[in-house]
């Protein structure tokens, strides 16, 4: 039975197996149905952003390589494949398509994150179709998101979408591996992604893409916890998009939790990477979790990591991460003022960025926080 859903702004993630079914060049085989759905949705006043895999596969035939392509060869494939992939998309539409290439650094840096948000907003206001992909031509492991499922989740958050639709080559999430177990049953609705649900994820299902079911669940969890419903559907079946157009999910619908958190909190929770950690005493723990207070240096017992001012850190109590925030001070500065009253910061450091180590407006509590 299909689950009804409604939406206004969606990010649609298209996997490599749909862009390049044979792993060598672009194909329109599965994209026509998706393009029709995008066009019909826009005509209804809905807004769509595409996250498209496939640039490396699209450019593969243009680069001579051995059995195992080097990083430089893959980046060259991506450079050629990006233009081919964009041209492949553009031929389906009579409105502008806009290319946005991102790396993890673009999402971790607050200023660049806001710039991405503003660019997406302006493209939608001007009725263009944003097409997002990881910038594989320059990205190395340190700045790669790593898979376009999680890139799509980050895009949904920065775009303030209400829905993420992951189009893949399976019908949804099953209670067993449908490739090995013919009696496996589709799970049509997931209210909460529990450890039992996560355990259902297998390895990578496509020889073309890098994202298996586990990355799809990671993406769904990021989105659902931030109030963005997530759908996992089979993009190879045209009837799937007929159902979606009627407000029915023919795959798995991951329900969104209510989220009253700000965009900054979404960014802190799911996007920015922590560079260190601050361990608290009991008084600071209570002040943060029960009174909504800022973190002061006096409540810090231990500083770890190598972070600069205005970088993200984990906040720890009794070995558990209870919060995440932006530190006003570097790790060396906090080593000098930890455990001290705020009135002593100036005399110890010779300067002061403020009374707080982390201001409450720049800190987000995690769901597992308990006394």
Residues 229 and 303 in one domain: no
Q: Decide if 137 is inside a domain.
A: yes
Residues 296 and 250 in one domain: no
> Taking all residues of the chain, what is their mean pLDDT, rounded to a whole number?
86
Residues 281 and 189 in one domain: no
Residues 236 and 114 in one domain: yes
What gap in Å lies between CA 4 and CA 247, rounded to an integer?
A: 6
22 vs 88 pLDDT, higher one: 88
351 CB neighbour count, 10 Å cutoff: 8
What gap in Å lies between CA 61 and CA 45, rounded to an integer?
A: 39
> Domain boundary at 215, 244, 265, which?
265
Q: Return the SS3 of 257.
A: coil
Q: Decide if 10 is inside a domain.
A: yes
Residues 302 and 258 in one domain: no
Residues 284 and 259 in one domain: no
Q: Return the SS3 of 249.
A: strand
Q: Decide if 371 is inside a domain.
A: no
Name every residue whose Cβ is closer than 8 Å to that of residue 293 and which is 6 or more positions away in sequence: 287, 360
CATH number at residue 236: 3.40.1160.10
Q: Decide if 194 is inside a domain.
A: yes
The count of domains in the chain is 2
pLDDT tens track for 195-242: 888 888 854 444 333 347 888 999 999 899 888 999 999 999 999 999
CB–CB of 139/103 below 8 Å? yes
Res 91: pLDDT: 93
> Domain boundary at 265, 294, 322, which?
265
Instruction: Identify each DSSP E strand in 172-274 by its residue range.
Output: 189-190, 229-234, 248-249, 252-254
Residue 83 has pLDDT above 60, yes or no: yes
CATH number at residue 308: 2.30.130.10
Largest CA distance in the chain: 71
Q: Decide if 158 is inside a domain.
A: yes
Q: Give this prediction's pTM.
A: 0.72
Residues 261 and 278 in one domain: no
Using pLDDT thresholds of 50, 70 and 90, give the confidence band for residue 163. very high
CB–CB of 232/166 below 8 Å? yes
Residue 370 has pLDDT above 60, yes or no: no
Q: Cα separations (Å) of 96 from 231, 245, 326?
A: 26, 22, 38
pLDDT tens track for 167-177: 988 899 998 87
Give the burial class of 99: count Cβ atoms within 10 A of its Cβ; 0-12 exposed, 13-18 middle, 19 or more buried. middle
Note down the domain range covering 352.
274-365
The torsion defined by the Cα of 179, 229, 266 and 200, in degrees rounded to 10, comes to -20
Q: Decide if 244 is inside a domain.
A: yes
Res 84: pLDDT: 87
CB–CB of 232/226 below 8 Å? no
The torsion defined by the Cα of 325, 330, 332 and 336, in degrees rounded to 10, comes to -70
> Domain boundary at 244, 265, 286, which?
265
């Amino acid at each position: 039975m299909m689950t009804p859903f409604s939406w206004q702004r969606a990010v649609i993630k298209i996997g490599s197996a749909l862009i390049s079914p044979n792993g060598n060049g672009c194909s329109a085989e599965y994209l026509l149905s998706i393009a029709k759905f995008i066009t019909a949705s826009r005509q209804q006043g809905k807004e769509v952003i595409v996250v498209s895999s496939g640039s490396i596969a699209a450019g593969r035939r243009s680069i001579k390589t051995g059995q195992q392509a080097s990083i430089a060869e893959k980046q060259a494939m991506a450079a050629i494949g990006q233009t081919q992939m964009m041209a492949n998309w553009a031929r389906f539409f009579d409105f502008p398509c806009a290319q946005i290439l991102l790396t993890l650094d673009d999402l971790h840096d607050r200023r660049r994150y806001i710039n991405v948000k503003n660019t997406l907003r302006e493209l939608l206001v001007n009725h263009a179709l944003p097409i997002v992909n990881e910038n594989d031509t320059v990205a190395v492991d340190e700045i790669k998101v790593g898979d376009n499922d999680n890139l799509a989740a980050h895009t949904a958050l920065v775009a303030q979408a209400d829905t993420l639709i992951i189009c893949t080559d399976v019908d949804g999430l099953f209670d067993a591996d449908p490739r090995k177990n013919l009696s496996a049953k589709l799970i049509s609705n997931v209210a909460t992604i529990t450890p039992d649900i996560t355990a259902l994820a297998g390895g990578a299902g496509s020889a073309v893409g890098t994202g298996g079911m586990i990355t799809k669940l990671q993406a769904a969890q990021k989105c659902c916890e931030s109030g963005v419903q997530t759908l996992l559907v089979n993009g190879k079946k045209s009837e799937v998009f007929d159902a979606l157009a009627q407000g029915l999910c023919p795959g798995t619908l991951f329900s969104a939790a209510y989220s009253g958190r700000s965009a900054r909190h979404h960014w802190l929770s799911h996007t920015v990477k922590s560079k260190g950690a601050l361990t608290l005493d009991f008084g600071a723990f209570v002040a943060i979790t029960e009174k909504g207070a800022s973190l002061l240096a006096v409540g810090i017992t231990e500083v770890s990591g190598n972070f600069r001012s205005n970088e993200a850190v984990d906040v720890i109590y009794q070995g558990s991460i209870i919060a995440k925030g932006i530190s006003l001070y570097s790790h060396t500065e906090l080593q000098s003022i930890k455990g001290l009253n705020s009135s002593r910061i100036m005399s110890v450091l010779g300067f002061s960025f403020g009374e707080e180590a982390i201001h409450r407006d720049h800190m987000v509590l995690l769901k597992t926080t308990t006394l």
